[in-house]
Structure 1
Amino acid sequence: MEILQILSYLGIFVFAVTGVLKARTNRFDLIGAVILSFVMAYGGGTTRDLLIGIRPVNWLSDNFAIIIVLVATVITFFFKLNFKLIKQLLFVTDALGIGFFTVVGLQIALQAGIGEGYALIMGVITATFGGLLADILCNSVPNLMKPGELYATACLIGGALYLGLIFLKINTEISMIVCVLTTATIRIYAIRKKLQLPVV
């Protein structure tokens, strides 16, 4: 199994967990948790595939990925945690998830023949649109649009760094890991330090 597939499965797992944790904070039942888990895990990748013309979309041809979502959902749903710990886990899993999915979405777009600039946008969409759709279903303002989150900004910086490393012919696996860690670190640091872009 190559590293891109591993990162994809890791992203699916942590976003599925994030979806269940979101469902728990909104007091959803098990079906609601499953729906939110699938939306978090597949929303961004599905949007990306539809935009660049990949058919069928990624998850329809990957039974193992669906099993990962279901296992993550069941384990997280029945693993009872206090609210403070849930918020901390949500914080960390979301940061790691956008890191995994930024590099996965970017690399899949590059493999589909998309230019670097638009591939970077596809990486951001892959990383953020699942959370955006889940937030909409939870009837809350998406994190993507909130000041002080640097949600898409972290993905852009991490993805741009990845492209830069590839341009410099740095090992692809190392470049992917650097992208994930950079994206997650920026996201965590921005929230802890309450950094934000200028408000309109």
Structure 2
Amino acid sequence: MTFLSVITYLGIFVFALAGAFKARGARLDVFGGLVVAFVSAYGGGTLRDLLLGVRPLTWLNDNLAFTLVFAGTTVTFLVKDRLNNFRRTIFFTDAIGLGLFTAAGIEVAIQNGANELYSLIMGVITATFGGLIADIFCGYPPVLLRRGELYATACAIGGIIFILLNKYLSTTTNLDLVICVVLVVAIRIYSKRRRLMLPEI
């Protein structure tokens, strides 16, 4: 298993957790939670693969990926009475998922021949569109479009650093992936705590 695969599988599990927590907040049943966890974990990557022309889709026939989605939903069900700060749990799992999927999305796009700009866009799509669909399914205002949230922006900043490291420095791809993940998570958390936001249009 490659390091990129490890990053991808971790992202699937973490975003499945985030999706299942959102479903629990919306008071869905177990099946609804599994559906939301699935779209949260797979939505962005599926759109990326369709845009890149990847066939078959990377999650088709991937039993480990589906097992991780099921495990994330099960964990959410088991700890439902043990979380003191539910919103904080959703936020941190979502932030970690953003970092993992931004890095994985960019690297997958590069491996499939996309240029730097398009790879960056693919990374942002991979990281954000699953959460967007999950928010819509649960009836929440999408975080991606919410004022005062450095969401896609955090992904873009981390992705730009990843591409610059990959292109201009002699660092390894694995190190670039780790740096991208850490940067996206750190920017997301820091911006939330400091209430940093983009100016209005």
Q: Which TM-score tier does this pair reach, normalised by the shorter chain? A: over 0.9
C-alpha contact 1:148 1:190 (8 A) present in aligned 2: no
Task: Name whichever of 150-159 and 76-85 sits farther off.
Answer: 76-85
C-alpha contact 1:12 1:65 (8 A) present in aligned 2: yes
Helix, strand or coil: the match of 1:89? helix
What residue ranges of structure 1 are gaps of 5+ in the alignment? none
CA distance in 2, matches of 1:64, 1:192: 35
- 1:170 aligned to 2:171? yes
Deviation at 1:82, TM superposition (A): 5.3
Helix, strand or coil: the match of 2:60? helix
Q: Deviations over 1:129-167 (max 9, x none)?
A: 000011111122210111211100000000000011111
- Superposed, 1:62-101 pairs within 5 Å as 62-81=62-81, 84-101=84-101
Deviation at 1:87, TM superposition (A): 1.5
Deviation at 1:195, TM superposition (A): 0.7
In the other structure, the counterpart of 2:145 is 145
CA distance in 2, matches of 1:62, 1:5: 12
In the other structure, the counterpart of 2:182 is 181
Size of the aligned set, in residue pairs, is 200
C-alpha contact 1:47 1:125 (8 A) present in aligned 2: yes
CA distance in 1, matches of 2:104, 2:18: 18
CA distance in 2, matches of 1:116, 1:84: 42
C-alpha contact 1:33 1:77 (8 A) present in aligned 2: no
Q: Deviations over 1:74-126 (max 9, x none)?
A: 12112223564221211111110000000100000000001110000000000
- Superposed, 1:43-54 pairs within 5 Å as 43-54=43-54
CA distance in 2, matches of 1:80, 1:119: 37
CA distance in 2, matches of 1:169, 1:183: 21
In the other structure, the counterpart of 1:105 is 105
C-alpha contact 2:34 2:70 (8 A) present in aligned 1: yes
CA distance in 2, matches of 1:39, 1:77: 18
C-alpha contact 2:26 2:139 (8 A) present in aligned 1: no
Match of 1:39, as an amino acid? V
Match of 1:164, as an amino acid? L
Aligned Cα RMSD in Å?
1.1
**Identity across matched positions, percent:** 50
Task: Give the TM-score normalised by structure 2.
Answer: 0.96
